Amino acid sequence: MKKLLSSLSYQSLRNGAFYRLTGLFIVAMAVLGVVLGLSSDDVPSAGKLIVDSPSVLWLFQTMVIAIIVGTVCAGDFKDKDLYYEIMSGHSRLNIFLSKAIPATVFTALLATLISAVPVISNCIFFGWGDVIEVKGAVIRIALCFFPFLRLAAFFTLIAFLSKSRMLVTALGYIAMCFGVVLQNIIGSHSSFLLSFFNLQDLMDYDTWSIYNLNPAGGIVMHTAYDSSISGRMITGTIMISILVSAVYLIAGYGFFRKNDLD
């Protein structure tokens, strides 16, 4: 498997399209963060962006994960590289692990980084502000790694089932378009079983309103946000994500092991 991982790393490093695509994602999210800050009705800040536009921190990343996982895990079916790897004596388990593990872990890390990009760009231009505490927001963004890992494992399963990176990419696009719609249809509730719900919960801050009397403006409402996160949310996010990711990967390998690769 070491040789397979080295080959995959070499191909990735030599792939200029990968660097361009990653750079495009990062730049696009950085610009989006600044644009959302400028369009805010209130004083723009990174904290304000997080509470006003939470879906920015997780929705677009679904497409990023699908594109990369589809390319890494399903790209070799079309050009027959998998056949040559098997004929060269590599076991199907090593081939699967050499593609599935780097694809899921790397894309989850990249998606988490991309989630932080609009917040960072907003902070650079407008500052953090006093809407939420930095520590709580950083912990919540970091925890997004685990639902992203679950999504990546799911797309890995689909890649080995369909053997088509275009289908995986299309599924990622559909998931991105209907992620918020699904959340609104089913309703807002705490759930760790679906990645979208888990991500939404991580970006959902408890709020309460404070009313003050202003001689000029009358009654003025101020909204306060609680960025603290419960131990239940932390352990549930980590444990369920790892468990479900393992189930997806085991199922993906089970199919790949028995598939005739026709």
Question: With 50 as the cut, is the pLDDT of residue 10 above it?
Answer: no
Question: With 80 as the cut, is the pLDDT of residue 90 above it?
Answer: no
What radius of gyration, in Å, describes the C-alpha atoms of the chain? 21
pLDDT at position 72 = 84
How long a stretch of residues is the chain? 262
Question: With 50 as the cut, is the pLDDT of residue 235 above it?
Answer: yes
Q: CB under 8 Å to 139, separation ≥6 — which residues?
A: 229, 234
Predicted TM-score (pTM) of the model is: 0.85
Q: Per residue in 24-59, pLDDT tens?
A: 888 989 998 888 888 877 788 888 889 888 888 888
Start-to-end CA distance of the chain, whole Å, equals: 23
Query: Residue 65: which domain range?
Result: 2-258
58-97 exposure pattern, b = at least 16 Cβ within 10 A, e = fewer: bbbbbbbbbbbbbbbbbbbbeeeebeebeeeebebebbbb
123-162 exposure pattern, b = at least 16 Cβ within 10 A, e = fewer: beebebbebbeeebbebbbebbbbbbbbbbbbbbbbbbbb
Separation CA 213–CA 221 (nearest Å) = 9
Domain count, the chain: 1
Separation CA 260–CA 262 (nearest Å) = 6
* Parallel, antiparallel or unpaired: strands 218-226 and 206-214: antiparallel
Question: With 50 as the cut, is the pLDDT of residue 210 above it?
Answer: yes
Q: Per residue in 105-132, pLDDT tens?
A: 999 999 999 999 999 999 999 999 888 8
Mean pLDDT of the chain: 80
Count CB atoms within 10 A of the CB of residue 231.
7
